[in-house]
Amino acid sequence: MRYEYVKRFIGFICLLVILSGCTTSPPDNFQDGPLSEPDNHAKEESQKQISLGGSDYYYQTGNSIYFLGTKIKNADADTFKILNGGYSKDKSFVYYREQIIEVSDPDAFKVLHSNIGLALDKNFIYGEGKRIEGSDPNTFQLLNSHYTKDKNHVYYQGQIVKEANSDSFEIMSGKRSNLAKDKYAVYSYGERIADLGTFQVLDDYYSKDKNHVFYSYRKIEGADSATFEIISSRRRSSLAKDKYAVYGYGERIEGADPSTYAIFFEGNLTFAKDKYAVYTENGERKINEADPDTFEIIYSDDHYDFAKDKNHVFVVVATAMGGSVVNIIDGADLSTFETLTGKYSKDKNHVYRYEKIVEDADPDTFQLLDYGYSKDKNHVYKYGKIVEGEDPGTFKP
């Protein structure tokens, strides 16, 4: 009886829920008719992006212009024009990248050098969208891709070079050179670096004046100008020294002794030594295990160098970026060791590929073949690995 009562009560509650759902009023903001149109922003986002002027930086979507994905506010799509170097304009404004810039005469505005963001109108010069106060467009001169000047100032990539004398300022060498001078000093990268009267270029990298030494026209801290000299001007070496230190690429080579440091071999890599150590790569990387008194190069080509001293045989492999990998052939017999090519060598006991033993190879009968193959009286090898099933007596690659 009680169970029947519970069933009826639950049924009654369900009926009330169903009826209440059928009579629920629509929300206050409900409107008959089709769904509303998407807003203008949504419509614009759904429209196709159109690249402007073949540029990867500018595109148009609807009536809006974008620079690198950022909308240029107030830009007029009908009159918008890309100038160059990050500059653009329309009938009302001039822009640098996505920002409106204040110019004195939009109609006269033009870009001078796109790489360094220089532009002018009839009253001012602009660097990367900023007005250079005190600049004079009427006497403006483009000297090279880095330096410009007018009657008042010298500029490096659009920034005023402090203390530079505009009347006498000139480029020292090359259309792309960062090196320039006036009647008082030498300048590099827009900075005053050296005394003009004593400045001298030593090679493509090093220079000095009476006070300082420079690498790529940047000061080498602590270098002694009076005793500074070039050891090697090779592009991959660029070695120099003074009475205090040895330098590679303008950096001090830690531990190198300037009084005994000298290059003894220049192939694809440069090798040098002093009384303490042997150096490879570009004459600046120390080979820790090498003995400087007995170390010598025994084979060299464009990729590999073999060397030995009283204790070890070394394989030095040049890398693509001018570096090197140095390995020791463990257990090699120094008295009978000989090279076969840049990859292979042997002694009375073993054949080696690089620094690794070629397993089961017979050094007396081992010979190199074409296409990476080799053989001895017992086996055929491919890249130093045994090729199973091949007869060395009849095998031809």
pLDDT in tens, 104-142: 888 899 998 777 788 999 999 998 899 988 899 999 998
Tell me if 160 is assigned to some domain. yes
Pick the last residue of a domain from 59, 86, 101. 101
Confidence of residue 47 (pLDDT cuts 50, 70, 90): low
pLDDT at 43 over 70: no
pTM for the full predicted model: 0.66
Average pLDDT over residues 190-209: 92
Query: Is residue 207 domain-shared with residue 189, that is, in the same domain?
Result: no
Average pLDDT over residues 332-344: 94
Tell me if 351 is assigned to some domain. no
Calpha distance 336→321 (Å, rounded): 34
Query: Is residue 168 domain-shared with residue 191, that is, in the same domain?
Result: yes
Between residues 176 and 361, the one the model is more confident about: 361
How would you class 182 by CB atoms within 10 Å of its CB: exposed for 0-12, middle for 13-18, buried for 19 or more?
A: buried
Tell me if 349 is assigned to some domain. no
Weakest mean pLDDT among 134-143, 226-235, 302-311, 342-351: 226-235
Tell me if 243 is assigned to some domain. yes
Largest CA distance in the chain: 120
Query: Is residue 191 domain-shared with residue 203, that is, in the same domain?
Result: no
Confidence of residue 176 (pLDDT cuts 50, 70, 90): low
Tell me if 339 is assigned to some domain. no
Average pLDDT over residues 366-376: 96
Query: Is residue 226 domain-shared with residue 245, that is, in the same domain?
Result: yes
Give me the half-sphere count of Cα atoms (radius 13 Å) on the Cβ side of residue 191: 7
| Residue 264: predicted pLDDT | 93
Question: How many structural domains is the chain composed of?
Answer: 3
| Residue 11: predicted pLDDT | 54
Pick the last residue of a domain from 236, 252, 268. 252
Calpha distance 190→133 (Å, rounded): 18
Which residues neighbour 153 within 8 Å (Cβ) at sequence distance 6 or greater? Answer: 132, 134, 135, 160, 161, 164, 166
Tell me if 248 is assigned to some domain. yes
| Residue 7: predicted pLDDT | 47
| Residue 29: predicted pLDDT | 44
Tell me if 19 is assigned to some domain. no
Tell me if 83 is assigned to some domain. yes
Query: Is residue 168 domain-shared with residue 232, that is, in the same domain?
Result: no
pLDDT at 198 over 50: yes
Q: Which domain holds residue 132?
A: 124-198
pLDDT at 57 over 60: yes
pLDDT at 37 over 50: no
Confidence of residue 193 (pLDDT cuts 50, 70, 90): very high
Query: Is residue 128 domain-shared with residue 171, that is, in the same domain?
Result: yes
Query: Is residue 177 domain-shared with residue 215, that is, in the same domain?
Result: no
Pick the last residue of a domain from 157, 181, 198. 198
Which residues neighbour 129 within 8 Å (Cβ) at sequence distance 6 or greater? Answer: 86, 87, 96, 97, 99, 101, 117
